[in-house]
Structure 1
Amino acid sequence: MAIENTGSSMATQIQADLAQIQNQARLHDALAGGNETEALSFPDAFRQAVQSVNEQDRLAGERMAAVDSGESDDLVGAMLSSQEAGLSFSMLMQVRNKVVGAVDELLKLQL
């Protein structure tokens, strides 16, 4: 259960970072006079990725709970789902860290 709480707090942090990036993109567009729909395409894609990883984690949890309660005997499938969800979350965190680093670098640029 502690893992789910950690994942939930990480998801909350990711959503907060996503909102910050989205606000910065809007500000940049307003200053540049660009089209706002272009700036929203990446955050929407990232939001979908977060939702997909969350869904994988939820399904893996359900499969593990079914094995724990004796409703299912597919231990291998449950473990594979759990590992897949863990790898997806790790990959999402790496992408998030790269995006946040790139945004920080862009903000350091002098115009």
Structure 2
Amino acid sequence: MGTELAGLIKADLAALTNDANRLAIAPPADHSAPGTFNNSQGAFSFTQSMKDALASVDSEDRAAADRMAAVDAGKSDDLVGAMLASQQASLSFSMLMQVRNKVMGAVDDLLKLPV
């Protein structure tokens, strides 16, 4: 059991090392997505990325709410589409909360570092 686990760990480590080496020699990706880079300085903007993600989650939630309201009012028969939109908005919100939790955990770890 222990040798099998050690073998699996070594295989995973080798795969990660290969992926890291492949990324290290890969040409830089085009990061021209809106809001991910500051155009004036060419620097990454975490704040803008989070604002864009928050706006995206909010727009998905509003679209799902509009679709559900249309079904409730009898203006639309697309109950399946409304439910799918609602689930997609819920998953997007859950993902955003997980990112927030990871960032807050990282900030807490940084604050705990000795100066």
Could you state the TM-score of these two structures normalised by the residue count of structure 2?
0.61
> Which 4+ runs in 1 deviate beyond 4 A?
37-40
Displacement of 1:47 in angstroms is 0.9
| Paired position in structure 2 for 1:66 | 70
Determine the structure 2 residue equivalent to 1:82: 86
- Structure with more of its chain in helix, by fraction: 1
Look up the SS of the partner of 1:110 in the other structure.
Answer: coil
**Shift of residue 108, structure 1, vs aligned partner:** 1.0
Corresponding residue number in structure 1 for 2:105 = 101
Q: Quote the residue 1:92 is aligned against.
A: 96
Q: AA paired with 1:109?
A: L
Rg bigger for which structure?
A: 2
Q: Name structure 2 gaps, 5 residues minimum.
A: 1-40
Count of paired positions: 75
Q: TM-score, with normalisation over the residues of structure 1?
A: 0.63
Which 5+ residue runs of structure 1 have no aligned equivalent? Answer: 1-36
Tell me how far 1:64 sits from its aligned partner.
0.2
Deviations 1:57-106 (A, max 9, x none): 00000000000000000000000000000000001000000000001101
CA-based RMSD = 1.8
Identity of aligned residues (%): 65
Higher relative contact order (CA 8 A, sep 6+): 1
